[in-house]
Amino acid sequence: MSGKRYYGYQGKSGHRRGAEARDGLFGWTVFIFLLIGFVFLCWMGSYYIFANPEKAANYRLLLRMHKIEPPVRFEITGAPRGEFLKPGQLLERFGSMTASEIRRSNSNLLRRFIRNYHQDRELVPYAVGTYRVLGTLPLTNETFCRPGLVALLQAVEQPEVLLEQPFTAQDKDLPGLKRSLVTGQQIKLEKPLDLSAVIHIERLSENKILLTTMPLLYGTYGAAKGETSFSLEPPEELNLEAGLPILSTADITRLSGGKITGNKEQEVSDAAKPSGHLSRIAEEMSNPTPEPRVAKAIPVNQPAVLREALPASPAQTSHQVARAIPVNEPAVLPAIPVSTPIGNENTPAIPRAIPVGTPLPTPTPIATPISTPTPLSTPLTPPTAKATPTPTPKPDSSPTVPLATNPASVMATNQAVAARPSEIWPVYEPGKMPRGRLVESSEAHDMASKGIGGERHYLQGRFAVTASGNGRAVFRPQGAIAGVPLGPNARVRVIVDFPSGATPPAEGNVISRDNLRPFQITSVKRGDDGQINIYAREITRGQ
């Protein structure tokens, strides 16, 4: 035994030499594969969470990480593009869906709403038409959103279509909201003032459908006679655990009295029926901007009227000398509405703008005040002032800016011209506007990136009217194929303001503007979703 040798072993432990190295390599290999699997699961999990915010757990996690925003209030010019569906079209669109199609549509509609339609390229379905209030229930912590009321609405034209629309408002506005949304009250959802987006579809018995809608504008609603009105606010947070629809079958049965029909027995009697339709009030109507009063222009041959409108004190006439007014400088004054009342003796007189493009008489520099046929009540003090005859304009020329011997009148007239209201702007005859750069809507990307600076830009092209009202119209540039915006124009929208008294083109029309009647661009802005808005003005007369 003492002569035997042992090979391949180390010391007295009896372990084979090299076994520890092989065991360590295997362990590290397993650990690396586990790390790879963990990274893959994290990547797939984060993708699933961000891609499906409509899941309650995913929504809570995204809120905790501040990776998702609460519902926002949209502006009428910045709302997502959509299609306006009447009750019959809603029934045709969603009533024929199968159960699997409804599940997929519900997930898609809710996901787009939670994301505030950010970078959304699909058309949003908007519900329009006249609906009758069947009943209301308060929104609580156990409902989809709060605070406010949820109203069960039935379409007047298509009784098979029901809407449940949450009206979220602040706590102080809840009493007015309850007084407005009474049973039998009719609500008119119209285009483009109201944007009630469909976010959930539910099929009921007897071939009826229940649609959940959210008012993306969260505006002010009121009756035509102004008896009832209320304002809405977007909810601060959504409770996805409560789910949709907000109203259960039992709630619908209780609010509708056990029957949902379109017969006369469902209608409220004339004595108890609320008067007027509730509809959204445009922001311009709820906060009207007072129109500036502009007096009628004073003829040149009646200087006495100017003195009566702006009488001068003896102190002013004794220490001030009238300043010369250059007659060769074309006056560019604000556009005057046709319906503007004529100023009286208490209203300062402001001369009318001279039509651009009308030839003026030969300019004659005048350095001294001009005497008038009617003597002044107080003579001017400087004895060096001499009367200079005024050149008689030709019959085909326009009258120039009137000169008055009253210094206070001349100074007041100059101040009135300089203090131009911001709500109005000059208008011109076709082709007579000032020089500027003529661009098309395809150049909107460059203008949004570089800006327009102080240079004057005019917009030409072919446009389709998508919305019109309240002195403003929204256009979409058209490509070679009518109704289909292609290329760079696919994400461009043109918002045009029209002068007071002018009627914007009706929705659905297609208009063309060239270098004679372009729009003047005021600003170009790019939204977070890539949408480019071109803000412009109508600056030419005629059609």
Of 152-166, 170-184, 195-209, 385-399, the one with minimum mean pLDDT is 385-399
**Contact criterion met (CB below 8 Å) for 247 and 150:** yes
**Contact criterion met (CB below 8 Å) for 199 and 137:** no
Q: How far apart are CA 324 and CA 451, in angstroms?
A: 39
Q: How far apart are CA 221 and CA 112, in angstroms?
A: 25
Q: What pLDDT score does 378 carry?
A: 42
What residue type is 102 in one-letter code?
A: I
| Of residues 158 and 288, more confidently modeled | 158
Q: Is the pLDDT of residue 25 over 70?
A: yes
pLDDT digits (tens, 9 = 90+) for 77-89: 888 999 999 999 9
Mean pLDDT of 421-439: 83
Candidates 541, 477, 479, 469; CA nearest to 505 is: 469
Query: Which own/partner pairs from 534-537 qualify as long-range (CB within 8 Å, at least 24 positions apart)?
Result: 534/441, 534/444, 534/447, 534/459, 534/492, 534/493, 534/494, 534/495, 535/495, 535/497, 536/459, 536/494, 536/495, 536/496, 536/497, 537/425, 537/496, 537/497, 537/498
Q: What pLDDT score does 353 carry?
A: 42
**Contact criterion met (CB below 8 Å) for 326 and 363:** yes
SS (H, E, C) 155-202: ECCCCCEEEEEEEECCHHHHHHHHHHCCCCCEEEECCCCCCEEEEEEE
Other Cβ atoms closer than 10 A to 299: 11
Compute the mean pLDDT over every residue in the chain, rounded to the nearest whole number. 75
Q: What pLDDT score does 62 carry?
A: 93
| Of residues 490 and 518, more confidently modeled | 518
Of 240-244, 252-256, 362-366, the one with minimum mean pLDDT is 362-366
Beta bridge partners of 124: 82
pLDDT digits (tens, 9 = 90+) for 211-249: 999 999 998 887 755 556 788 999 988 999 999 999 999
Mean pLDDT of 114-141: 93
Burial of 39 (0-12, 13-18, 19+ CB in 10 A): exposed
Q: Is the pLDDT of residue 319 over 90?
A: no
List strand residue ranges (DSSP E) for 361-518, in order: 437-440, 457-469, 472-477, 492-497, 510-513
Q: Which two tokens stand for residue 437?
A: 């750069």
Q: Which two tokens stand for residue 344?
A: 């009286």
Q: Whats the size of the chain, residue-wise?
A: 543
Q: Which fold has domain 437-538?
A: OB fold (Dihydrolipoamide Acetyltransferase, E2P) (2.40.50)
Q: What pLDDT score does 231 carry?
A: 85
Mean pLDDT of 159-179: 91
| Of residues 203 and 313, more confidently modeled | 203
> What residue spans define the domains of the chain?
82-286, 437-538
Q: Is the pLDDT of residue 271 over 50?
A: no
Q: What pLDDT score does 289 carry?
A: 44
Residue 185: HSE in the Cβ half-sphere, 13 Å Cα cutoff: 23
Q: Which two tokens stand for residue 231?
A: 């304002």
Beta bridge partners of 535: 495, 523
- Name, in order, each residue with C-beta under 8 angstroms of 493's C-beta and a sequence gap of 6 or more: 77, 474, 475, 476, 531, 532, 533, 534
What pLDDT band is residue 513 in, cutting at 50, 70 and 90?
Answer: very high
